[in-house]
Amino acid sequence: MAKKRQRLRIICVSRGPELPQRIKAVLRPRRPDVTFEPDMDRVLERFEEEQFDILVMSSAAVKGGRIDGVDLIEVITAKSPRTQILFVADDHAIRAAMTALKAGSYHYAKLPVSDEELRLLIETALEQRQTYGPNLLLHSERRRAGFQDMVGRSPAMQAVYRQIRQAAATDMPILITGETGTGKDLAAHAIHQTSARRDGPFLPVNLAALPRELVASELFGHEKGSFTGAAAARAGLFERGNGGTVFLDEIGSIDEKVQVSLLRLIEQKRFHRLGGRAWLTTDARLIAASNVNLSEAVRNGSFREDLFYRLDVFHIDMPRLTDRRGDVTMLVDAFLKRYSDAFQREIRGLAPECLAIFDQYDWPGNVRELKNVVQRAVLVCTDNIITPAHLPDRLVPAAHSAPNITFDIGTPLRDVERDMIAQTLIFTGNNRKQTAELLGISRRALYNKLRRYGL
């Protein structure tokens, strides 16, 4: 019995539907599944959902995206090797087509292209594609390895993951903003690890933690004798980070002179060491982060406007923990496992009252504060269940000052009832009689529910 041929899957990235319609028409006997994608920035998301045999990319679509077309081709070639890439170029984009070939395109066609030529190009590409190699961009593949060290499935974090994948497919400067403790450093590392530079060095530095007079030396290096204490020449981050990524945290803390040097490095890809005259070049990718409003810093004159616009080419804003409430339980589980292993404790979990407290707390320190709270609780817990007694005092009063309770639409009624009882117990200080009165049930009914839910 002949083996059933799998349906051909093609994704076409073009400004309009004409090209994908033509592809479907010329391949009609094969009944291909042709996906039309007008937004080049969404191509990576498409590859996260399914495997494609052919990617047809038009030069017109490439010009309109935030992601560089060549970088995208390199990512698809590396992560989905079975996908053949065809580049369709107009007269003014032949140079781009040649660059696309070097990046990993199988072939290119110059517009206008006849139906027969288009059919032959696709058929030949199919015959010569690899017979192995999974699509490493698929969600199922990423779930096995996890998304680097980042935890969370809330819509806010899904948007961040999408931006990280887009940023990793480019080589432009990235600016990451967000409150302290939101994970800007993790996002920067994730960009590096999912980019073509992942085998190069990742060099982070917190600029606010350095004495101002040493910032320039740390970034650009220095020659022997260039300042007091410079007993030997030293290479800076941009020299040592060649081929990798330099992450500058708290970029808003650098002074005017360093800002000028950094602007020149971004524009010219060259710099010189302190005390040196020779120009040095670098291929290091720059990612900067700030927890202050750089736009406001530009307005008050403490940050150069031209440097801000050079850094703000691709902007990722990390959400506060209060904007990703659905992730708290997942984060707690991850931190519990980490610190239970580190401190050799057998912590089974948290009492329901603790989760209720976590849901009501504002978390001004964001994920970092949650991590520290869980770490402390694991350290001081002498049993295998963490209770409110193991939490800092600043968290527990919040349960008594915020009696309003909200639930997401779609929450199962059983979960609503269990959490309502748990949070009411917290509000009453575990007074069962008062809890029953507030809930409008008898104490006997309350006790039955407490046993049912294990409270």
Q: Any idea which of 41-50, 63-72, 227-236 has the lowest mean pLDDT?
A: 63-72
102: pLDDT confidence band, cut at 50, 70 and 90? low
Radius of gyration of the chain (CA): 28
Q: What is the mean pLDDT of residues 118-126?
A: 86
In this model, does residue 95 exceed pLDDT 70?
no
State the span(s) of the chain assigned CATH 3.40.50.2300. Answer: 9-128
128: pLDDT confidence band, cut at 50, 70 and 90? confident
Q: What is the mean pLDDT of residues 56-67?
A: 71
In this model, does residue 68 exceed pLDDT 70?
no
Q: Rounded to an integer, what distance in angstroms lies between the CA atom of residue 120 and that of residue 107? A: 11
- Cβ neighbours of residue 149 closer than 8 Å, sequence gap 6 or more: 186, 189, 190
Q: Answer whether 78's CB lies under 8 Å from 196's CB.
A: yes
Q: What is the mean pLDDT of residues 198-204?
A: 92
Phi, psi angles (nearest 5°) of residue 83: -85, 120
In this model, does residue 96 exceed pLDDT 70?
no
Average pLDDT score, the chain:
83
Interhelix angle 328-342/366-380, rounded to 10 degrees, is 40
State the span(s) of the chain assigned CATH 3.40.50.300. Answer: 146-319
Residue type, 412: P
Q: List strand residue ranges (DSSP E) for 49-112, in order.
A: 54-58, 84-89, 107-110
148 vs 189, residue with greater confidence: 189
In this model, does residue 334 exceed pLDDT 50?
yes
Q: List strand residue ranges (DSSP E) for 215-271, in order.
A: 245-249, 270-271
Of 108, 449, 121, 156, give the one whose Cα is nearest residue 319: 156
Q: How far is CA 175 from the centre of its chain?
A: 12
Query: How far apart, in Å, are the Cα atoms of 238 and each of 140, 255, 333?
Result: 36, 18, 38
The CATH topology of domain 146-319 is Rossmann fold (3.40.50)
| CATH 3.20.20.70, domain 9-128, yes or no | no
Q: What is the pLDDT of residue 125?
A: 82
Q: Rounded to an integer, what distance in angstroms lies between the CA atom of residue 51 and that of residue 80? A: 8
| CATH 3.40.1830.10, domain 323-453, yes or no | no
In this model, does residue 302 exceed pLDDT 70?
yes
Residue-wise pLDDT tens digits, 132-151:
556 666 654 444 333 667 88
Q: What is the mean pLDDT of residues 307-328?
A: 91
- Report H helices in 315-431: 328-342, 352-360, 366-380, 397-401, 413-427
Q: What is the pLDDT of residue 186?
A: 94
Q: Answer whether 391's CB lies under 8 Å from 382's CB.
A: no
State the span(s) of the chain assigned CATH 1.10.8.60. Answer: 323-453
447: pLDDT confidence band, cut at 50, 70 and 90? confident
370: pLDDT confidence band, cut at 50, 70 and 90? very high
> Of 93-102, 224-233, 315-324, 404-413, where does the model show the most confidence?
315-324
Number of Cβ within 10 Å of residue 345's Cβ equals: 15
Q: What is the pLDDT of residue 133?
A: 57
Q: What is the mean pLDDT of residues 396-412?
A: 65
* Long-range residue pairs from 343-346, CB within 8 A, at least 24 positions apart, any chain: 343/378, 343/379, 345/378, 345/381, 345/384, 346/384
Q: Answer whether 449's CB lies under 8 Å from 421's CB.
A: yes
| Three-state secondary structure of 179-208 | CCCCCHHHHHHHHHHCCCCCCCCEEEEEHH
Q: Any idea which of 37-46, 92-101, 436-445 has the lowest mean pLDDT?
A: 92-101
Instruction: State the DSSP H helix or E strand holding residue 33, giving kind and residue range, or none if neither.
Output: strand 33-37
Burial class (CB in 10 A: 0-12, 13-18, 19+), 200: middle
Q: Largest alpha-carbon pair distance within the chain?
A: 84
Of 376, 289, 300, give the one whose Cα is nearest residue 332: 376
Of 182, 254, 183, 180, give the one whose Cα is nearest residue 214: 254
Q: Rounded to an integer, what distance in angstroms lies between the CA atom of residue 151 and that of residue 154? A: 10
Q: What percentage of the chain has pLDDT greater than the value 70?
A: 87
> Of 123-127, 218-222, 447-451, where does the model show the most confidence?
218-222
In this model, does residue 357 exceed pLDDT 90?
no
Number of Cβ within 10 Å of residue 213's Cβ equals: 10
Burial class (CB in 10 A: 0-12, 13-18, 19+), 1: exposed
